[in-house]
Amino acid sequence: MRTADLGGNRVPRRSRGVRGLAMVPLKRRRVAPSASSGHPSPPRTPQHPDVVIFLNERKMGASRRAFLTRLGRSKGFVVEESDSVTHIVSEHNSGEEVQAWLESQSIPKGIVDSVHLLDISWFTESMGSGEPIMVLITSISNLLEICSEIRFCSLLQVNDKLRLDPPEFTVKNYACQRRTPLKHNNTHLTHALELLAESAAFGENEGRSVAFTRAASVLKTLPRSVQRIEELRGLPCLGEHSLRVIKEILEYGASQEVESTRQSEQYQAMKALTGIFGVGVKTADRWYREGVRRPSDLMDSEQKLNQAQQAGLQHYKDLNTCVSKAEADAIGVIVDQAVQAVLPGAQITLTGGFRRGKESGHDVDFLITHPEEGKEEGLMPKVVNWLDTQGLLLYQKTTRNSYLESKDGPARPPSNMDRFERCFSIFKLESQSCSPPEREKSHQWKAVRVDLVVSPFSQFAFAVLGWTGSKLFERDLRRYAGQVKNMSLNSHSLFDSHQRCFLRATSEEEIFSLLGLEYIPACDRNA
């Protein structure tokens, strides 16, 4: 079985010379002259010179074929009859019919094997996206053609489904249904996809960003490293674009799109600017369009910065240095001291990435509660005041708890932002607690981002679950609850829309069980 080239045309197919179609009688391969009727638009210079499409007139009819030919050419595709044909497209033909037709043309089997035999759906999808949809494997000898998504499967595969080998891996659809350990076997692929996800987020294309994140997440669950693209057959969440990138990396060691994105001025500037605490994508993008490229450009510019951004800029270097687990633990000791000083018996829990077993993170997240419901009210200002008095805070902004079950229950639109009493802060961590090599003599402390959240005891299990992450795991938990269980989950509660009531839980295990999910421990939620 041969692995087909990318639609993205890295392999010089022409040079491989797919000969043989010249043997197809000419009358059967009359191709309409280029557009004369004015629609679709006139042919463009070929954008995809390595994809040469042949439209099979059988059952398609001459006039439709002529129309599709003009359409393809107007989109920059080569549609012709020549010995360079790489993709044969048929409509209303079964795989057997196409095969029989090819045999009737007396084209040597070896040649047929190297051409993609595709259904019209491939053609229309490719026209729609303006680029050739990738075809993963072609082999008429196996009567098998696997495409990136089931709707692109060629007629051949549809006919031969039963003869497919079982897929190499099975992976459940929602991230909350599967185990994703921290260490996995496909980092070279996931880093690339995550960079594209990040870049899409910079462009405020959330759908595209989540799609790349999901694709990366699926690869993280695989028990071993992927060697061949065919091994990914049947896996969920791997769209055409992600598959194309993966395939390129597997074959060439790198993806051109990923590398050019990484090098691009816009990506680098957006990365640097959103790396400033208090700066989101919208602000960074506006600055970029105004010519700002680096945080240092802001120092002597006219740009107005809010307090968070000023602090972010001032501590830029520290805040862009990873927080180690040891530093997180040192901060945990301080937060516990503060909490015990103002409310004895209160409990603190390390959440976020560190609870999932990460060795380093961008911030430290803590959840604070007290076993006696109501005792936690008004706790945050006291904790913050204690820390501030000790000179431990470089910046803080506290928001009050705005969650009311009666108000925020099912009647209100679900909000992803939770409404706990929360403090976004920057801690001044003294150097004995920091990793020594990082500290210079003149700078005996390190600025560290810390998020503090106070939860009533009755909501604690939901809060821990919501704050442990990963973000994709949380997103899929909520999606699963809504789509599969007709329930609504957030960091405060679980609402059963069918029974119209809140479901109580005192542990994460209970919440998974209420959702009908197998319990996934925090260390396996690194989706």
In angstroms, the CA 285 to CA 201 distance is: 11
Q: Active site includes 160?
A: no
Q: Active site includes 365?
A: yes
In angstroms, the CA 526 to CA 322 distance is: 18
Helix (H/G/I), strand (E/B), else coil: 387: helix
Q: From the CB of 140, what's the least distance to Mn ion, in Å? A: 52
Q: From the CB of 176, what's the least distance to ligand UTP, in Å? A: 12
Is 363 annotated as a binding-site member? Answer: yes
Whichever of 50 and 418 has its CB closer to ligand UTP, that residue is 418
Whichever of 65 and 422 has its CB closer to ligand UTP, that residue is 422
- With binding defined as CB under 6 A, does residue 470 bind ligand UTP? yes
152 with 133: CB under 8 angstroms?
Answer: yes
In angstroms, the CA 186 to CA 224 distance is: 8
Q: From the CB of 489, what's the least distance to ligand UTP, in Å? A: 12
| Active-site entry in 5, 363, 408, 418 | 363
Q: For the purposes of burial, counting CB atoms within 10 Å of the CB of 494, is it exposed (0-12), middle (13-18) or buried (19 or more)?
A: buried
136 with 146: CB under 8 angstroms?
Answer: yes
**Strand boundaries in 126-267, DSSP class E:** 135-139, 144-147
In angstroms, the CA 115 to CA 139 distance is: 8
Binding range to ligand UTP, per CB under 6 A, among 276-284, 350-358, 391-399, 426-434: 350-358
Q: Active site includes 418?
A: no
Whichever of 248 and 363 has its CB closer to Mn ion, that residue is 363
- With binding defined as CB under 6 A, does residue 469 bind ligand UTP? yes
Helix (H/G/I), strand (E/B), else coil: 23: helix
In angstroms, the CA 77 to CA 44 distance is: 8
Is 451 annotated as a binding-site member? Answer: yes
175 with 167: CB under 8 angstroms?
Answer: no
Helix (H/G/I), strand (E/B), else coil: 17: coil
- With binding defined as CB under 6 A, does residue 508 bind ligand UTP? no
| Active-site entry in 50, 285, 365, 408 | 365
In angstroms, the CA 483 to CA 298 distance is: 45
- With binding defined as CB under 6 A, does residue 493 bind ligand UTP? no
Whichever of 175 and 243 has its CB closer to ligand UTP, that residue is 175
- With binding defined as CB under 6 A, does residue 274 bind ligand UTP? no
- With binding defined as CB under 6 A, does residue 362 bind ligand UTP? yes
Site string for ligand UTP, 382-421 (x = CB under 6 A): -----------------------------------xx---
The catalytic site residues sit at 363, 365, 451
Indicate the annotated binding residues for Mg(2+): 363, 365, 451
Indicate the annotated binding residues: 363, 365, 451
